[in-house]
Amino acid sequence: MAHGTHDHPGERAHHDPIRLLGIRDTPLSLDEVFRAVGDRAAGGTALFVGTVRNHDMGADVDALSYSSHPSAEMELRRVAENVVANYPVRALAAVHRTGDLAVGDVAVVAAVSCAHRGEAFAACRQLIDELKHEVPIWKHESFSNGTEEWVGAC
């Protein structure tokens, strides 16, 4: 791997900054994701945590379930690779939950570490936004008024 003459050895990225990706039917750990993006050359780490809220579109949510297409992890990797191509990422991790979740449960955790905070914030925002719009994960909500709804891609 070639490096410019001005690179400091401490600034060189690991060979693969994508450290952790997953679609899981078990509870997610913020600590696991945060540890996965730890990097001694990172000056900033942005961590996003998405939780199940008790309402959506003006209705009270009673139950929620996520399901995913078999290609979801492959699409998640594609999204991660896109973020790495657009930002100087030191380390990246993202995990999404499937199955039945309760209000307050953690549904998704995404984190990015970069040399500088601005890059970390921007890269993490792209990661979670593209995950939400491009990874085939569907949310099924049941409302207290007896109605239910499927919502595509998170």
Question: Per-residue pLDDT tens for 51-107?
Answer: 999 998 888 998 899 999 999 999 999 999 999 999 999 999 999 999 999 999 999
The pLDDT confidence band at residue 152, using thresholds 50, 70 and 90, is: confident
Share of the chain above pLDDT 90, in %: 77
Read off the pLDDT of each residue in 2-21 and give the average, rounded to a whole number. Answer: 64
- The domains of the chain, with CATH numbers, are 15-51+70-138 (3.90.1170.40)
pLDDT digits (tens, 9 = 90+) for 71-81: 999 999 999 99
Handedness of CA 101, 104, 132, 72 (dihedral sign): negative
Instruction: Please state the pTM of the whole predicted model.
Output: 0.88
Read off the pLDDT of each residue in 11-27 and give the average, rounded to a whole number. Answer: 85
- The pLDDT assigned to 84 comes to 98
- The pLDDT assigned to 4 comes to 40
Read off the pLDDT of each residue in 105-125 and give the average, rounded to a whole number. Answer: 98
- Whether 92 and 120 have beta carbons less than 8 Å apart is answered as no
- The pLDDT assigned to 63 comes to 82
Read off the pLDDT of each residue in 130-140 and give the average, rounded to a whole number. Answer: 96
